[in-house]
A and B are shown apart, each in its own frame.
Chain A
């Protein structure tokens, strides 16, 4: 059966006509059946004919009318009972007329003896009252309105229209004029009994507004449907309930929350739903096939009723119609409930996240504007706003929301494409394994035409010992001469041993290169030039080896062009040998890291040259940076980084460039040594060639035992790029850690 949350039709003539028609029909069919076969008797005792209809009506009513209260139910039941009896009596009269019996005699069959008559009477009364059942639905408590609200429409209500006798006009005016102190409080309980008196409450909410005797409600019944949504039932309830419960707004008059509280008690609040009907769409059309995710999404976004997002007013001010305001728009911001900020409940925002656009209906935020700033009525303000909704800046919202909101999808794990590894990359662009562009070739390398000359952006460190790649059984670069030039100091056969260990990994090039003080064994996946991998490794290894406060077991560096996993071979960095694996983005790194560690650890240096410990020991940095005040977003960022354990924020400033280094370390630890190292590493990371594979890196993860250090270069519009450093315990959740660091980076970039 249809649910009657529609308008009640007590005033509609067609409804009455329909009822009349049904009445006639019921009577006619009942009489006809009686005439045809009056002998059908009711086998059950007579009181069934009383109990059955009562039961039926009693059960059907709540089904047809949502949220039917006891009062409404009783009213409905009695009406139906009256109708039932009425139909019965009329039927009896008809039977008497048609059957030439007396009225009293006809009463028996009509009321209980003749089952079809009973059934028809029940059906008839139900159908007759169908159009009017909407009137039994509980009246929606009216959302608060401006004092100068449009006089509310008098919607039809089954309860007869009563004049608002409770608050006589003069009292109302006094009330409106009152500053919202003791005055309304005593009046409030009285008005609670009236549905719509929240409208005068609005006048109270307008603080210190010297309005003339308020455009108070005219003497028509204050009962009305919420004008903003126009219908009773679901929508206004939700919208209004949302306002009732989304109550993180500080309302100046203390009395008003009481009133709202009282109203909500009387009419029952629905749960803090999303509330804003026009913008609400099922959040996941993208995932229409999978109800499980939708359920997960709604479960994953556990929104506390007070949870809000704060939108800087200047991000939305452009959407407001200037003509609707009495003061210039720039000044409106200062007068908001929370100055310069629009507060929007998260419950409104979160369901829209999947849409890529978030809007909020004007009604949800209108109370944050003091009434005085409006030059026109609220309905008109809404009309002047496009679609009656404000577009909210997504970046602000995403920044403020807790990460779990997105966790549902990320939490599913890495993407697997079975079988894809068995195919090598079909498309190899020019320069794939070929020499880089001519302008990059070092003039000094003319002696041995070493094709993969390193790109010029490499710092001095690597220019002096010219790298001479050993063409191993790999896709040798084109122009290498047939003569195999080997750097004498390099041990033989390391590459092959490691290659055996790394066999499951698709390798395209395996090189051993001496870069500076380090022998780099570079393994590059298809698509990355071995030289690029070696160059990057050679650039970064010295910094990591010598400057890190703690010995680093493995470093993973990510850039847009690819990812580099750097692992010292043998017992540590002091062997002077490192394994550098370069892959394209999008692979499964965990396995690679593990393989690299295993390969590097298992490898025994096969030549005495390797064990010569010519490298200087770790030189702890003596540089000291000046402490700087942490940015405002730092505290929030520290909370985000829970995958590292508890952290505190310490910021430092690099003396030469003035760049800020934001460090997050466990409480009690000092980041004073960490900051210079991070700075130096960030510089080395940034120095990659801008074009081509494996360029610069934007983030690094360094693991030392049970500790994890993440270093990330933050974007900066002007001035030196700040650096984010997060050091803490490795809690075994690398994916989450990385995401949280990214979030923190976003927070800090905005600050």
Chain B
């Protein structure tokens, strides 16, 4: 593992999912995604639609970062909230901390005001979880020791893989 990797331990994942589930319940949103600013998905909760969460994460992070650059051109640090309104589905993206953003998808069941209100709370809670997670010692679990040559060969299924 390298120094700057983002590690999500099991316990953290559970906590984050709990926060997101609460958020969905309170705000009335249908899906919530926690996304790293480099475009990778950290956690996702919500209705079981077959959403392409991977693509959504990449695009949302891209959009968020480009609006962030826009904000800087205006002298702001960044726009902390983005709201995209659609006909049936809308999207609300807000900052969690300088590593992650929270994306909420909601329909006509709720309003952007509700979503924004609870998103803020959720963001704070998640931010705390992430901070604690980073403070934890990192080399835990299966990936803490480097792979041996034998392991990489067989684990990856080398030439003898059926």
Number of interface residues of A (CB under 8 A): 12
Instruction: Verify if A219 is at the interface (C-beta below 8 Å from B).
Output: no
Q: Provide the B151-162 mask, 1 if CB < 8 A to any CB of A, else 0.
A: 011001111110
B158 closest partner in A (C-beta): A424
Instruction: Verify if A216 is at the interface (C-beta below 8 Å from B).
Output: no
Give residues 397-434 of A contacting B (CB, 8 Å). 422-424, 426
- Distance in Å: Cβ of A420 to nearest Cβ of chain B: 11
Q: Are A424 and B160 in contact (CB under 8 A)?
A: no
- Distance in Å: Cβ of A339 to nearest Cβ of chain B: 56
Instruction: Verify if A56 is at the interface (C-beta below 8 Å from B).
Output: no
Instruction: Verify if B51 is at the interface (C-beta below 8 Å from A).
Output: no
Q: Which residues of A contact B152 (CB under 8 A)?
A: 422-423
- Distance in Å: Cβ of A620 to nearest Cβ of chain B: 42
Q: Are B160 and A473 in contact (CB under 8 A)?
A: yes
Q: Are B153 and A474 in contact (CB under 8 A)?
A: no
Q: Are A475 and B161 in contact (CB under 8 A)?
A: yes
Instruction: Verify if A508 is at the interface (C-beta below 8 Å from B).
Output: yes
- Which of B147, B157, B159, B161 is close to A506, meaning CB atoms less than 8 Å apart? B159
Give residues 135-160 of B contacting A (CB, 8 Å). 147, 149, 152-153, 156-160
A475 vs B158: C-alpha distance when bound (angstroms): 10
Q: Are B156 and A526 in contact (CB under 8 A)?
A: no
B150 closest partner in A (C-beta): A422
Q: Are B159 and A526 in contact (CB under 8 A)?
A: yes
Q: Which residues of A contact B159 (CB under 8 A)?
A: 424, 474-475, 506-509, 526
Q: Are A422 and B149 in contact (CB under 8 A)?
A: yes
- Distance in Å: Cβ of A714 to nearest Cβ of chain B: 38
A473 vs B160: C-alpha distance when bound (angstroms): 7
A423 vs B159: C-alpha distance when bound (angstroms): 11
Q: Are A423 and B156 in contact (CB under 8 A)?
A: yes
Number of A-B contacts (CB under 8 A): 22
A476 closest partner in B (C-beta): B162
A473 vs B161: C-alpha distance when bound (angstroms): 10
Q: Are B160 and A422 in contact (CB under 8 A)?
A: no
Q: Which residues of A contact B147 (CB under 8 A)?
A: 422
Give residues 461-514 of A contacting B (CB, 8 Å). 473-475, 506-509
A474 vs B161: C-alpha distance when bound (angstroms): 8
Would you call the interface of chain B mostly helix, strand, loop, or mixed? loop
Q: Which residues of B contact A426 (CB under 8 A)?
A: 156
Q: Which residues of B contact A507 (CB under 8 A)?
A: 159
A507 vs B149: C-alpha distance when bound (angstroms): 16
A424 vs B147: C-alpha distance when bound (angstroms): 14
A426 closest partner in B (C-beta): B156
Q: Are A422 and B161 in contact (CB under 8 A)?
A: no
- Distance in Å: Cβ of A597 to nearest Cβ of chain B: 23
- Which of A424, A474, A508 is close to B156, meaning CB atoms less than 8 Å apart? A424
Name which of B153, B159, B160, B161 has the most chain A CB atoms within 10 A of its CB.
Answer: B159
Q: Which residues of A contact B161 (CB under 8 A)?
A: 475
- Distance in Å: Cβ of B150 to nearest Cβ of chain A: 9
A424 vs B137: C-alpha distance when bound (angstroms): 31
Name which of A423, A474, A475, A526 has the most chain B CB atoms within 10 A of its CB.
Answer: A423
A526 vs B152: C-alpha distance when bound (angstroms): 15
Q: Which residues of A contact B149 (CB under 8 A)?
A: 422
- Distance in Å: Cβ of A471 to nearest Cβ of chain B: 12
A474 vs B160: C-alpha distance when bound (angstroms): 6
Give residues 103-162 of B contacting A (CB, 8 Å). 147, 149, 152-153, 156-161
Q: Which residues of B contact A473 (CB under 8 A)?
A: 160
Q: Which residues of A contact B158 (CB under 8 A)?
A: 424, 506
Q: Which residues of B contact A506 (CB under 8 A)?
A: 158-159
- Distance in Å: Cβ of B159 to nearest Cβ of chain A: 5
A423 vs B152: C-alpha distance when bound (angstroms): 6
A237 vs B142: C-alpha distance when bound (angstroms): 68
Name which of A422, A474, A507 has the most chain B CB atoms within 10 A of its CB.
Answer: A422
Q: Which residues of A contact B157 (CB under 8 A)?
A: 424
A422 vs B153: C-alpha distance when bound (angstroms): 7
A526 vs B147: C-alpha distance when bound (angstroms): 21
B146 closest partner in A (C-beta): A419
Name which of A424, A426, A474, A507 has the most chain B CB atoms within 10 A of its CB.
Answer: A424
A507 vs B159: C-alpha distance when bound (angstroms): 7
Q: Provide the B41-84 mask, 1 if CB < 8 A to any CB of A, else 0.
A: 00000000000000000000000000000000000000000000
- Distance in Å: Cβ of A404 to nearest Cβ of chain B: 40
A526 vs B159: C-alpha distance when bound (angstroms): 8
B149 closest partner in A (C-beta): A422
A507 vs B160: C-alpha distance when bound (angstroms): 10
Q: Which residues of B contact A423 (CB under 8 A)?
A: 152, 156
A473 vs B159: C-alpha distance when bound (angstroms): 9
Q: Which residues of A contact B156 (CB under 8 A)?
A: 423-424, 426
A137 vs B147: C-alpha distance when bound (angstroms): 68
A587 vs B44: C-alpha distance when bound (angstroms): 42
A423 vs B155: C-alpha distance when bound (angstroms): 10
- Distance in Å: Cβ of B115 to nearest Cβ of chain A: 40
A716 vs B146: C-alpha distance when bound (angstroms): 51
Give residues 15-50 of B contacting A (CB, 8 Å). none
A634 vs B159: C-alpha distance when bound (angstroms): 48
A509 vs B161: C-alpha distance when bound (angstroms): 11
Q: Which residues of B contact A474 (CB under 8 A)?
A: 159
A508 closest partner in B (C-beta): B159
A526 vs B157: C-alpha distance when bound (angstroms): 12
Give residues 519-576 of A contacting B (CB, 8 Å). 526
B147 closest partner in A (C-beta): A422
- Distance in Å: Cβ of B6 to nearest Cβ of chain A: 21
A473 vs B158: C-alpha distance when bound (angstroms): 12
A16 vs B153: C-alpha distance when bound (angstroms): 82
A506 vs B159: C-alpha distance when bound (angstroms): 8
A451 vs B153: C-alpha distance when bound (angstroms): 27
A507 vs B161: C-alpha distance when bound (angstroms): 12
A421 closest partner in B (C-beta): B149
- Distance in Å: Cβ of B102 to nearest Cβ of chain A: 32
A474 vs B149: C-alpha distance when bound (angstroms): 20
- Distance in Å: Cβ of B156 to nearest Cβ of chain A: 5
A663 vs B156: C-alpha distance when bound (angstroms): 49
Q: Which residues of B contact A526 (CB under 8 A)?
A: 159
Q: Which residues of B contact A508 (CB under 8 A)?
A: 159
Give residues 8-62 of A contacting B (CB, 8 Å). none
22 A-B pairs, CB-CB below 8 angstroms?
A: A422-B147, A422-B149, A422-B152, A422-B153, A423-B152, A423-B156, A424-B153, A424-B156, A424-B157, A424-B158, A424-B159, A426-B156, A473-B160, A474-B159, A475-B159, A475-B161, A506-B158, A506-B159, A507-B159, A508-B159, A509-B159, A526-B159
Which residues of A does B touch, CB under 8 Å?
422-424, 426, 473-475, 506-509, 526
Task: Kindly list the 6 A-B residue pairs having the minimum CB-CB distance in the complex, ordered from nearest.
Answer: A422-B149, A508-B159, A422-B152, A424-B158, A424-B156, A423-B152
Known: A475-B159, A507-B159. 17 other contacts (CB 8 A): A422-B147, A422-B152, A422-B153, A423-B152, A424-B153, A424-B157, A424-B158, A424-B159, A426-B156, A473-B160, A474-B159, A475-B161, A506-B158, A506-B159, A508-B159, A509-B159, A526-B159
Which residues of B does A touch, CB under 8 Å?
147, 149, 152-153, 156-161
